[in-house]
Amino acid sequence: FLAGSAMVALAPNLELLAAARAVQAIGGGAIVPISMAIAGSRLPLGRRALAIGLIAALDDASSLLGPLYAAALVEPLGWRGLFWLNIPLQIPWLLAVALLVRRTPALGQHRVDWLGGLLLAAGLACLTIGLTHETDGAGSVWITALWVALALASTAAFVARQRRAPDPLIPVRALRRRVVGSGMALYFIDGAATITLMICIPLMTNVLWGRDPLQGGLNLMKMMVWMPVGGILGGWLAQRLGYRPTAALSFLLLALAYLAMYRWPDSPGSAMLWGTLLIAGLGIGLNDAPILSSVLDNVRAAERATTAALTQMVQTTGMIAGTALLATQGIGRFDQRAAELFRQRGLSASPEEYQAILRATFDEIFRAAALVTFRGAGLALFLARGRPRQPGWSPVVVATGGDEP
């Protein structure tokens, strides 16, 4: 991450800037999964959920505070200065990690499956291109289908490789367990539900209510400010109620938020807007701790880092799929309705009529999202039960994970 930051600050052109950002992303993308794995391996079961919830809350808070931090400093420092600033800010944490590694017992010697990693990256890249490719005709549809086929082929080759590899990147054996598979499916739904809200809230503000882009961003922040609160609350509830009810509550709140958005009037008041977005933000944040804890509790200590990374990747894939569905189904439905209105009314169609079909399109999206998230609440019943917090716990280092399934 630090090397990528320096490369970005020194990049002389857009091509090298993009490559440097990729290097930075490789390092930055590993931070949260490794943090989850540390919490999963060095804390007893009764304390893991809260620790994971705190990590998820900080991750959510960074999404909220990062743009504000950058906006405040970009004027005096310039955009290159922001990336140089990463280096002195991160060096103390780098030293702290070095000390932690010295105190952390090794979990055995493992070889990195580079070929498996390349196949996985190729599959995800092809899927991303395929789902986000602009379709403006039959030829584009076939190009999209080709990219998706390549993604499926790469994924199949990756799975076959993992079954034969002596040290697989992904614990295929663990994925067959119901609690692990259901956790992955829930995080996919969470990713799709989250990105739908993050796109629709500012979009509705701009195109339906006629507000400026700044107001759209502020409305989105009204939801995001509650996400870290939900992360901490989710960890606390998971320790006391267990993973299943906490995750189920999360998806029920998301379904309730989508239904409330479906029932929004043409211009919701401040109280209605804040109330709905509070429910949505808490719903998004609540599920991190129970889902990740359920998954990490049911894999070996040596597999927790890669499993946490896979779970994060599944969430990102859900976001990609959600974005693609919004682009193809949401905008596609609007285009169909707008074409039908133009065929019937021609240039005499009023702006209010186009606003009405916009609202109908958003309502369809919210109904579908509410149904999917409500089913997610049912799927949460297949997670691990979780264990209540044990009284009298003391912070003893668990050298080997202590609870190998």
pLDDT, residue 100, reads: 73
- Does a structural domain hold residue 337? yes
pLDDT, residue 133, reads: 65
179 and 151 in a common domain:
no
Q: For residues 60 and 54, what is the distance between their CA atoms, to the nearest angstrom?
A: 10
Tally DSSP H helices, then E strands, for the chain.
15, 0
pLDDT, residue 25, reads: 86
DSSP letter (8 states) at residue 106: P
Q: For residues 2 and 75, what is the distance between their CA atoms, to the nearest angstrom?
A: 22
**Which structure tokens are listed for 390?**
């044990």
155 and 15 in a common domain:
no
pLDDT, residue 348, reads: 76
- Does a structural domain hold residue 259? yes
185 and 163 in a common domain:
no
- Does a structural domain hold residue 133? yes
Q: For residues 335 and 347, what is the distance between their CA atoms, to the nearest angstrom?
A: 16
- Does a structural domain hold residue 191? yes
pLDDT, residue 339, reads: 78
For residue 209, the one-letter residue type is W
- Does a structural domain hold residue 405? no
Q: Which of 131, 127, 130, 203 is nearest to 365 (CA)?
A: 203
- Report the CATH number that the domain containing residue 193 is assigned in CATH: 1.20.1250.20
314 and 279 in a common domain:
yes
196 and 60 in a common domain:
yes
318 and 209 in a common domain:
yes
The pTM for the full model equals 0.79
Number of domains in the chain: 2
Number of CB atoms found within 10 A of residue 138's CB: 8
275 and 307 in a common domain:
yes
Contact 349, 342 (CB under 8 A): yes
- 341 is in which domain, residue-wise? 2-104+169-382
What is the DSSP annotation of 173-242? Answer: HHHTSHHHHHHHHHHHHHHHHHHHHHHHHHHIIIIIS---HHHHHHHHHHHHTTHHHHHHHHHHHHHHH-
100 and 245 in a common domain:
yes
361 and 242 in a common domain:
yes
370 and 277 in a common domain:
yes
Tens-level pLDDT at each residue, the chain (405 residues) = 889 999 999 999 988 999 999 898 888 888 888 787 777 777 777 777 888 888 888 888 887 777 777 878 888 888 899 899 988 988 888 888 778 766 666 655 667 778 888 888 888 888 878 776 665 555 567 787 888 899 899 989 988 888 887 777 777 777 778 888 899 999 999 999 999 999 899 888 888 888 888 888 889 999 999 999 999 999 999 988 999 999 999 999 999 999 999 998 888 889 999 999 999 999 999 999 999 999 988 888 777 777 888 888 888 889 888 887 887 777 777 777 777 777 787 777 777 777 788 888 889 899 999 999 999 999 999 998 875 544 333 333 333 344 444
- Does a structural domain hold residue 393? no
Q: Which helix (H) or strand (E) holds 134?
A: none
**Which structure tokens are listed for 214?**
């700044």
Give the list of residues 6+ apart from residue 318 with CB closer than 8 angstroms, or none. 187, 188, 189, 190, 191, 192, 193, 194, 195
- Does a structural domain hold residue 109? no
Q: For residues 270 and 135, what is the distance between their CA atoms, to the nearest angstrom?
A: 38
Q: How many residues does the chain have?
A: 405
> Helix, strand, coil % (nearest 5) of the chain?
80, 0, 20
pLDDT, residue 158, reads: 86
243 and 185 in a common domain:
yes
- Does a structural domain hold residue 256? yes
154-160 contacts: CB < 8 A, separation 24 or more? 154/119, 154/120, 154/122, 154/123, 154/126, 155/119, 155/120, 155/123, 157/119, 158/116, 158/119, 158/120, 158/123
Cα end-to-end distance, the chain, whole Å: 34
pLDDT, residue 105, reads: 62
270 and 190 in a common domain:
yes
